[in-house]
Amino acid sequence: MRYRTSLLEFASVYEQDSAALALRRIAQTAQMAEALGYHRLWFTEHHNIPRVAAATPAVLIAHAAAHTERIRLGSGGVMLPNHAPYVVAEQFGTLEALYPGRIDVGIGRAPGTDPLTLGRALRRQPGAAGFDQDVEDLQGFLAGRSPIPGVTCVPGAGSNVPLYLLGSSLYSAGLAAKMGLPYVFASHFAPDHLDQALSLYRQQFQPSAQLDSPYVMVAMNALCTEQPSDIEKVREQHVAAFAGPHATPMARARALTMLEHFACGDAQQVRESAGAFMQRTDADELMLVMRAPDAETAQRSLRDCAEALAD
Protein backbone atom coordinates (compact mmCIF):
# COMPACT_ATOMS: atom_id res chain seq x y z
CA MET A 1 0.00 0.00 0.00
CA ARG A 2 1.10 3.60 -0.55
CA TYR A 3 1.53 4.01 3.21
CA ARG A 4 1.49 1.64 6.16
CA THR A 5 -2.16 0.78 6.75
CA SER A 6 -3.73 -1.23 9.56
CA LEU A 7 -7.16 -2.17 10.89
CA LEU A 8 -9.03 -1.62 14.15
CA GLU A 9 -11.65 -4.32 14.70
CA PHE A 10 -14.73 -3.94 16.91
CA ALA A 11 -16.33 -7.30 16.03
CA SER A 12 -19.48 -5.43 15.02
CA VAL A 13 -22.83 -7.05 15.71
CA TYR A 14 -25.04 -6.11 12.77
CA GLU A 15 -28.83 -6.22 12.47
CA GLN A 16 -30.19 -9.78 12.49
CA ASP A 17 -26.78 -10.79 13.85
CA SER A 18 -25.41 -12.11 17.14
CA ALA A 19 -22.25 -11.61 19.16
CA ALA A 20 -21.31 -15.22 18.50
CA LEU A 21 -21.49 -14.73 14.74
CA ALA A 22 -19.49 -11.51 14.98
CA LEU A 23 -16.74 -13.33 16.85
CA ARG A 24 -16.70 -16.26 14.43
CA ARG A 25 -16.02 -13.85 11.57
CA ILE A 26 -12.77 -12.70 13.14
CA ALA A 27 -10.64 -15.53 11.75
CA GLN A 28 -11.78 -14.75 8.20
CA THR A 29 -11.23 -11.02 8.73
CA ALA A 30 -7.70 -11.66 9.99
CA GLN A 31 -6.88 -13.92 7.06
CA MET A 32 -8.23 -11.39 4.57
CA ALA A 33 -6.32 -8.55 6.21
CA GLU A 34 -3.09 -10.54 6.04
CA ALA A 35 -3.61 -11.53 2.40
CA LEU A 36 -4.46 -7.96 1.41
CA GLY A 37 -1.31 -6.51 2.95
CA TYR A 38 -2.60 -4.70 6.02
CA HIS A 39 0.25 -4.21 8.49
CA ARG A 40 -1.56 -4.99 11.73
CA LEU A 41 -4.97 -5.88 13.13
CA TRP A 42 -5.97 -4.59 16.55
CA PHE A 43 -9.00 -5.40 18.68
CA THR A 44 -10.91 -2.98 20.90
CA GLU A 45 -12.10 -3.44 24.47
CA HIS A 46 -15.73 -2.46 25.03
CA HIS A 47 -18.26 -3.61 27.61
CA ASN A 48 -22.07 -3.60 27.65
CA ILE A 49 -22.36 -2.24 24.10
CA PRO A 50 -24.89 -4.42 22.24
CA ARG A 51 -23.43 -3.84 18.77
CA VAL A 52 -19.79 -4.47 19.75
CA ALA A 53 -18.56 -7.98 20.61
CA ALA A 54 -14.87 -7.15 21.12
CA ALA A 55 -14.60 -7.22 24.91
CA THR A 56 -11.46 -9.31 25.49
CA PRO A 57 -8.60 -8.26 23.19
CA ALA A 58 -6.11 -10.87 24.41
CA VAL A 59 -8.50 -13.73 23.61
CA LEU A 60 -9.29 -12.34 20.16
CA ILE A 61 -5.60 -11.82 19.42
CA ALA A 62 -4.90 -15.47 20.24
CA HIS A 63 -7.76 -16.59 18.01
CA ALA A 64 -6.62 -14.42 15.09
CA ALA A 65 -2.98 -15.43 15.54
CA ALA A 66 -3.88 -19.11 15.32
CA HIS A 67 -5.42 -18.49 11.88
CA THR A 68 -2.67 -16.27 10.41
CA GLU A 69 1.09 -16.33 9.90
CA ARG A 70 2.54 -12.83 9.52
CA ILE A 71 0.21 -9.95 10.31
CA ARG A 72 0.88 -8.12 13.57
CA LEU A 73 -1.91 -8.42 16.14
CA GLY A 74 -2.68 -6.30 19.17
CA SER A 75 -5.09 -4.45 21.38
CA GLY A 76 -6.59 -1.15 20.38
CA GLY A 77 -6.61 -1.08 23.22
CA VAL A 78 -6.54 -2.67 26.61
CA MET A 79 -8.27 -0.14 28.89
CA LEU A 80 -5.63 -0.26 31.58
CA PRO A 81 -7.72 1.15 34.47
CA ASN A 82 -9.91 -1.97 34.14
CA HIS A 83 -6.99 -4.35 34.74
CA ALA A 84 -3.98 -5.03 36.92
CA PRO A 85 -0.85 -4.21 34.89
CA TYR A 86 0.70 -7.47 36.10
CA VAL A 87 -2.14 -9.52 34.59
CA VAL A 88 -1.93 -7.61 31.30
CA ALA A 89 1.81 -8.32 31.20
CA GLU A 90 1.16 -12.02 31.78
CA GLN A 91 -1.47 -12.14 29.04
CA PHE A 92 0.65 -10.40 26.43
CA GLY A 93 3.80 -12.17 27.55
CA THR A 94 1.96 -15.42 26.87
CA LEU A 95 0.88 -14.21 23.44
CA GLU A 96 4.42 -13.09 22.59
CA ALA A 97 5.81 -16.48 23.64
CA LEU A 98 3.31 -18.29 21.42
CA TYR A 99 3.48 -15.89 18.46
CA PRO A 100 6.90 -14.18 18.72
CA GLY A 101 7.43 -10.87 16.98
CA ARG A 102 3.77 -10.39 16.09
CA ILE A 103 2.18 -8.92 19.23
CA ASP A 104 1.45 -5.28 20.19
CA VAL A 105 0.04 -3.85 23.43
CA GLY A 106 -2.09 -0.80 22.72
CA ILE A 107 -3.27 0.77 25.98
CA GLY A 108 -5.79 3.46 26.87
CA ARG A 109 -7.21 5.04 30.01
CA ALA A 110 -10.91 5.21 29.14
CA PRO A 111 -13.16 2.56 30.72
CA GLY A 112 -14.70 1.46 27.42
CA THR A 113 -18.13 1.28 29.01
CA ASP A 114 -20.82 3.07 31.01
CA PRO A 115 -20.58 3.99 34.75
CA LEU A 116 -22.94 1.20 35.87
CA THR A 117 -20.95 -1.52 34.12
CA LEU A 118 -17.71 0.00 35.35
CA GLY A 119 -18.78 0.12 38.98
CA ARG A 120 -20.93 -2.98 39.37
CA ALA A 121 -19.75 -5.48 36.74
CA LEU A 122 -16.07 -4.56 36.41
CA ARG A 123 -15.79 -3.48 40.07
CA ARG A 124 -13.78 -0.40 39.26
CA GLN A 125 -14.20 3.17 40.44
CA PRO A 126 -14.76 5.93 37.84
CA GLY A 127 -11.70 7.90 36.83
CA ALA A 128 -8.23 6.98 35.67
CA ALA A 129 -6.15 8.07 38.66
CA GLY A 130 -2.76 6.44 38.66
CA PHE A 131 -2.76 5.74 34.92
CA ASP A 132 0.80 7.03 34.49
CA GLN A 133 2.01 4.62 37.16
CA ASP A 134 0.05 1.74 35.63
CA VAL A 135 1.74 2.34 32.27
CA GLU A 136 5.17 2.46 33.91
CA ASP A 137 4.42 -0.74 35.85
CA LEU A 138 3.28 -2.56 32.70
CA GLN A 139 6.36 -1.40 30.85
CA GLY A 140 8.55 -2.56 33.72
CA PHE A 141 6.98 -6.00 33.96
CA LEU A 142 7.43 -6.59 30.21
CA ALA A 143 11.00 -5.32 30.25
CA GLY A 144 11.99 -7.54 33.16
CA ARG A 145 12.28 -4.58 35.55
CA SER A 146 9.58 -5.49 38.03
CA PRO A 147 8.27 -2.48 40.00
CA ILE A 148 7.52 -4.85 42.89
CA PRO A 149 10.57 -6.42 44.58
CA GLY A 150 10.33 -10.19 44.58
CA VAL A 151 7.56 -10.31 41.96
CA THR A 152 8.46 -11.52 38.45
CA CYS A 153 6.08 -11.72 35.53
CA VAL A 154 6.18 -15.26 34.11
CA PRO A 155 5.62 -15.28 31.21
CA GLY A 156 6.25 -11.71 30.16
CA ALA A 157 9.45 -10.59 31.87
CA GLY A 158 12.00 -9.62 29.24
CA SER A 159 9.57 -10.08 26.35
CA ASN A 160 9.58 -6.33 25.63
CA VAL A 161 6.26 -6.52 23.80
CA PRO A 162 6.00 -3.04 22.23
CA LEU A 163 3.62 -0.61 23.91
CA TYR A 164 1.45 1.91 22.06
CA LEU A 165 -0.40 4.67 23.87
CA LEU A 166 -3.92 5.41 22.64
CA GLY A 167 -5.70 8.68 23.28
CA SER A 168 -7.57 11.73 22.06
CA SER A 169 -6.34 14.43 24.44
CA LEU A 170 -3.32 16.59 25.17
CA TYR A 171 -2.78 14.55 28.32
CA SER A 172 -2.31 11.30 26.40
CA ALA A 173 -0.10 13.03 23.85
CA GLY A 174 2.11 14.41 26.61
CA LEU A 175 2.37 11.06 28.37
CA ALA A 176 3.29 9.23 25.16
CA ALA A 177 5.95 11.86 24.48
CA LYS A 178 7.38 11.69 28.00
CA MET A 179 7.59 7.89 27.94
CA GLY A 180 8.91 7.70 24.39
CA LEU A 181 6.03 5.56 23.15
CA PRO A 182 4.24 5.47 19.78
CA TYR A 183 1.07 7.57 19.91
CA VAL A 184 -2.23 6.43 18.42
CA PHE A 185 -4.83 9.19 18.09
CA ALA A 186 -8.49 8.14 18.22
CA SER A 187 -9.58 10.43 15.40
CA HIS A 188 -12.20 7.89 14.30
CA PHE A 189 -14.53 9.10 17.08
CA ALA A 190 -12.87 11.99 18.98
CA PRO A 191 -11.29 14.32 16.41
CA ASP A 192 -11.42 17.63 18.31
CA HIS A 193 -7.81 17.83 19.55
CA LEU A 194 -6.13 15.99 16.68
CA ASP A 195 -3.79 18.71 15.43
CA GLN A 196 -2.88 20.05 18.87
CA ALA A 197 -2.19 16.59 20.27
CA LEU A 198 0.06 15.52 17.42
CA SER A 199 1.99 18.77 17.56
CA LEU A 200 2.51 18.48 21.33
CA TYR A 201 3.58 14.84 21.04
CA ARG A 202 6.19 15.62 18.41
CA GLN A 203 7.52 18.68 20.23
CA GLN A 204 7.86 16.99 23.62
CA PHE A 205 8.95 13.50 22.51
CA GLN A 206 11.80 11.96 24.50
CA PRO A 207 13.66 8.98 22.99
CA SER A 208 13.31 5.69 24.85
CA ALA A 209 14.58 2.13 24.70
CA GLN A 210 11.60 1.32 22.47
CA LEU A 211 11.61 4.32 20.15
CA ASP A 212 14.24 6.78 18.88
CA SER A 213 11.86 9.28 17.30
CA PRO A 214 8.11 10.06 17.32
CA TYR A 215 5.79 7.53 15.72
CA VAL A 216 2.22 8.59 14.99
CA MET A 217 -0.75 6.44 14.08
CA VAL A 218 -4.11 8.03 13.24
CA ALA A 219 -7.45 6.26 13.05
CA MET A 220 -9.97 6.93 10.28
CA ASN A 221 -13.40 5.55 9.50
CA ALA A 222 -13.68 3.91 6.09
CA LEU A 223 -16.29 2.46 3.76
CA CYS A 224 -15.45 1.76 0.13
CA THR A 225 -18.74 1.46 -1.72
CA GLU A 226 -20.48 2.76 -4.81
CA GLN A 227 -23.84 2.71 -3.03
CA PRO A 228 -24.65 6.06 -1.33
CA SER A 229 -27.36 4.25 0.63
CA ASP A 230 -24.66 2.24 2.44
CA ILE A 231 -23.01 5.44 3.65
CA GLU A 232 -26.30 6.97 4.71
CA LYS A 233 -27.27 3.86 6.64
CA VAL A 234 -23.94 3.89 8.50
CA ARG A 235 -24.49 7.52 9.46
CA GLU A 236 -28.01 6.81 10.69
CA GLN A 237 -26.86 3.79 12.70
CA HIS A 238 -24.15 5.93 14.26
CA VAL A 239 -26.58 8.69 15.23
CA ALA A 240 -29.01 6.15 16.71
CA ALA A 241 -26.23 4.55 18.76
CA PHE A 242 -24.78 7.77 20.15
CA ALA A 243 -27.73 10.18 20.21
CA GLY A 244 -30.76 7.90 20.35
CA PRO A 245 -33.49 7.11 17.82
CA HIS A 246 -35.26 10.44 18.42
CA ALA A 247 -32.22 12.71 18.52
CA THR A 248 -32.63 16.47 18.49
CA PRO A 249 -30.90 18.34 15.65
CA MET A 250 -28.18 19.45 18.06
CA ALA A 251 -27.59 15.94 19.40
CA ARG A 252 -27.57 14.59 15.87
CA ALA A 253 -24.98 17.16 14.80
CA ARG A 254 -22.77 16.30 17.78
CA ALA A 255 -22.92 12.61 16.94
CA LEU A 256 -22.03 13.21 13.31
CA THR A 257 -18.94 15.24 14.26
CA MET A 258 -17.51 11.94 15.51
CA LEU A 259 -17.47 10.82 11.87
CA GLU A 260 -15.56 13.90 10.70
CA HIS A 261 -12.74 11.72 9.38
CA PHE A 262 -14.57 9.24 7.16
CA ALA A 263 -13.07 7.96 3.91
CA CYS A 264 -16.23 6.88 2.14
CA GLY A 265 -17.45 6.44 -1.39
CA ASP A 266 -15.88 4.76 -4.38
CA ALA A 267 -12.21 3.79 -4.63
CA GLN A 268 -11.08 7.18 -5.87
CA GLN A 269 -12.95 9.03 -3.12
CA VAL A 270 -11.49 6.74 -0.45
CA ARG A 271 -7.99 7.17 -1.86
CA GLU A 272 -8.31 10.96 -1.96
CA SER A 273 -9.81 11.24 1.53
CA ALA A 274 -7.21 8.97 3.10
CA GLY A 275 -4.40 10.72 1.25
CA ALA A 276 -5.54 14.16 2.38
CA PHE A 277 -5.81 12.94 5.97
CA MET A 278 -2.33 11.45 5.93
CA GLN A 279 -0.92 14.62 4.39
CA ARG A 280 -2.63 16.78 7.02
CA THR A 281 -1.39 14.69 9.95
CA ASP A 282 1.98 13.60 8.50
CA ALA A 283 1.31 10.30 10.28
CA ASP A 284 3.52 7.24 10.04
CA GLU A 285 0.60 4.84 9.87
CA LEU A 286 -3.11 4.88 9.06
CA MET A 287 -5.49 2.70 11.04
CA LEU A 288 -8.83 2.11 9.35
CA VAL A 289 -12.10 1.39 11.12
CA MET A 290 -14.49 -0.33 8.73
CA ARG A 291 -17.97 1.18 8.98
CA ALA A 292 -20.60 -0.83 7.15
CA PRO A 293 -24.32 -1.62 7.42
CA ASP A 294 -23.72 -5.39 7.31
CA ALA A 295 -21.00 -8.02 7.42
CA GLU A 296 -20.91 -8.65 3.67
CA THR A 297 -20.42 -4.96 2.89
CA ALA A 298 -17.72 -4.73 5.56
CA GLN A 299 -15.72 -7.58 4.03
CA ARG A 300 -16.09 -6.13 0.55
CA SER A 301 -14.95 -2.74 1.84
CA LEU A 302 -11.94 -4.35 3.52
CA ARG A 303 -10.82 -5.64 0.13
CA ASP A 304 -11.74 -2.53 -1.85
CA CYS A 305 -10.00 -0.17 0.59
CA ALA A 306 -6.80 -2.19 0.23
CA GLU A 307 -7.04 -1.93 -3.55
CA ALA A 308 -7.84 1.79 -3.37
CA LEU A 309 -4.75 2.44 -1.24
CA ALA A 310 -2.45 0.19 -3.26
CA ASP A 311 0.81 1.66 -4.55
| CATH label of the domain that carries residue 118 | 3.20.20.30
Does residue 192 belong to any structural domain of this protein? no
Does residue 8 belong to any structural domain of this protein? yes
32: domain range? 1-161
pLDDT of amino acid 49: 86
pLDDT of amino acid 101: 98
Convert the pLDDT of each residue in 246-296 to its tens digit. Answer: 778 888 888 888 888 999 999 999 999 999 999 999 999 999 999 999 999
- DSSP string covering 11-78: -B--TT--HHHHHHTHHHHHHHHHHHT-SEEEE----S-TTB----HHHHHHHHHHT-SSSEEEES-E
Does residue 274 belong to any structural domain of this protein? no
pLDDT of amino acid 27: 98
pTM attached to this predicted model: 0.91
Does residue 296 belong to any structural domain of this protein? no
Does residue 264 sit in helix, strand or coil? Answer: strand
Contacts of 240 (CB under 8 A, 6+ apart): 247
Does residue 84 belong to any structural domain of this protein? yes
Number of domains in the chain: 1
Please, are residues 238 and 255 in contact by the beta-carbon 8 Å criterion? yes
Average pLDDT, the chain: 92
pLDDT of amino acid 111: 54
pLDDT of amino acid 241: 76
Does residue 216 belong to any structural domain of this protein? no
Mean pLDDT, 10 residues at a time, over the chain (311 residues)?
Answer: 94 93 97 98 93 95 99 96 95 98 94 46 53 95 93 93 97 97 96 96 98 98 96 88 76 83 96 97 98 96 97 72
Does residue 47 belong to any structural domain of this protein? yes
